[in-house]
């Protein structure tokens, strides 16, 4: 039997999830103890910011394995076990486990529907288990089929079509406006979470020059260090405008930080080179009249959310199709496993009847 025990962003708040987080070293220690204590014959442990899931296989695994597994997992994290803890976890076996795993690697169980990062994280967890011989025939077949299913779903559905986060929508727009992001200078005004994610996403697509201004210089410096940029004193950020190709603004100012005259004057020296302005502040930081200027592209938070929302709706329409594909693949997997068991039993019986063979 195979089974899995887990918690995720839908069943447990972050202060619970973070207590059950595992790094690679912790995973090796925990899986070693799991097998040594006879709780399973095989194990794979997945730990991300949004989920912790333990997949196991073995003849001793049953539908009654949840509590001893949860008690073991709690001990491994030095967490006191309580009955309330069970409310944060889910436990499934056999077909339900396969169905859940296939959904996870296909991005159907993610906070961002259809995202692909989870597939790489699961592959890393599987590789760690495989390298240390924690996984065996049953889990190897299950995870390999899960990866094939994820690839199949990506090729046969639109579940990953479009971008569904503000940061990735901004990157998509930047890619349409600029032929090459490698030479783009990004100016970030305000060091909030969304502006950080947006800047990080643009840098991941090739932009190499980054300036960050925030009312608190220490925060600018901390963000600049994380992202590999340079901090600018807030009083001097306007001096960086002539160098900027992409400006991301997210302050708490009561009025417009970037005005029409400011950008009109700046654009006179740009020789029609485009400028992308991303206003993710509420109230808005950038005068909307700026969008009338030639070669200037202005998007506010509502614009970005509208684009992301359309992509989310398109992905949600694909969920039923993906579910049907997964159900079929799970059924085919267990049919193949049943035939394999029958063949192995037949070979063992034949061997016992003909010991000289």
Angstrom distance (rounded) from CA 135 to CA 127:
9
- 3-state SS string for 113-138: CCCCHHHHHHHHHHHHHHHCCCCCHH
Per residue in 134-173, is it b (16+ CB within 10 Å) or e — as a string?
A: bbbebbbbbbebbbebbebbbeebebbebbbbbbbbbbbb
How many Å apart are CA 163 and CA 169, to the nearest integer?
6
158 with 312: CB under 8 angstroms?
no
Contacts for 18-25: CB closer than 8 Å, 24+ residues apart: 19/77, 19/79, 20/47, 20/52, 20/73, 20/77, 20/79, 21/47, 21/52, 22/47, 22/52, 23/47, 24/128
8-state DSSP, 290: G
Q: Which two tokens stand for residue 185?
A: 């200078």
**Residue holding tokens 């959310």?**
305
Is 184 one of the annotated active-site residues of the chain?
A: no
What the block records as the tokens of 194 is 């969304």
Residue tagged active-site, from 49, 88, 322, 357:
49
Q: Is residue 305 a contact partner of residue 170, using CB atoms and an 8 Å limit?
A: no
Q: How far apart are CA 277 and CA 242, in angstroms?
A: 13
The catalytic site residues sit at 49
């Amino acid at each position: 039997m195979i089974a899995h025990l887990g918690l995720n962003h839908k069943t447990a708040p972050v202060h619970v999830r973070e207590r059950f987080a595992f790094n690679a070293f912790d995973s090796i220690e925990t899986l070693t103890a799991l097998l040594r204590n006879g709780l399973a014959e095989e194990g794979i442990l997945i730990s991300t910011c949004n989920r912790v899931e333990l997949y196991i296989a073995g003849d001793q695994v049953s539908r009654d394995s949840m509590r001893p597994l949860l008690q073991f997992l709690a001990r491994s994290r030095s967490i006191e076990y309580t009955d309330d803890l069970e409310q944060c976890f889910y436990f499934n076996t056999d077909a339900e486990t396969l169905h859940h795993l296939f959904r996870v690697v296909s991005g159907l169980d993610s906070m961002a529907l259809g995202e692909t990062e989870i597939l790489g994280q699961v592959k890393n967890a599987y590789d760690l288990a495989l390298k240390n011989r924690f996984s065996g025939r049953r889990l190897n077949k299950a995870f390999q089929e899960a990866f094939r299913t994820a690839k199949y779903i990506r090729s046969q559905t639109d579940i990953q079509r479009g971008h569904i986060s503000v940061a990735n929508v901004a990157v998509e727009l930047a890619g349409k406006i600029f032929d090459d992001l490698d030479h783009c200078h990004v100016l970030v005004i305000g060091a909030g979470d969304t502006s950080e994610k947006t800047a990080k996403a643009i840098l991941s697509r090739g932009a190499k020059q980054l300036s960050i201004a925030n009312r608190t210089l220490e925060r600018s410096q901390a963000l600049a260090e994380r992202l590999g940029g340079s901090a600018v004193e807030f009083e001097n950020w306007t001096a960086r405008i002539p160098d900027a190709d992409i400006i991301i603004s997210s302050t708490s100012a009561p009025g417009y930080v970037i005005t029409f005259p400011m950008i009109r004057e700046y654009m006179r020296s740009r020789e029609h080179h485009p400028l992308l302005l991303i206003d993710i502040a509420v109230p808005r930081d950038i005068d909307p009249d700026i969008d009338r200027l030639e070669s200037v592209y202005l998007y506010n938070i509502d614009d970005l959310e509208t684009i992301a929302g359309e992509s989310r709706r398109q992905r949600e329409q694909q969920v039923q199709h993906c579910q049907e594909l997964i159900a079929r693949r799970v059924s085919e997997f267990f049919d193949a496993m049943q035939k394999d068991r029958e063949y192995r039993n037949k070979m063992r019986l034949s061997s016992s009847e003909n010991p000289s063979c």
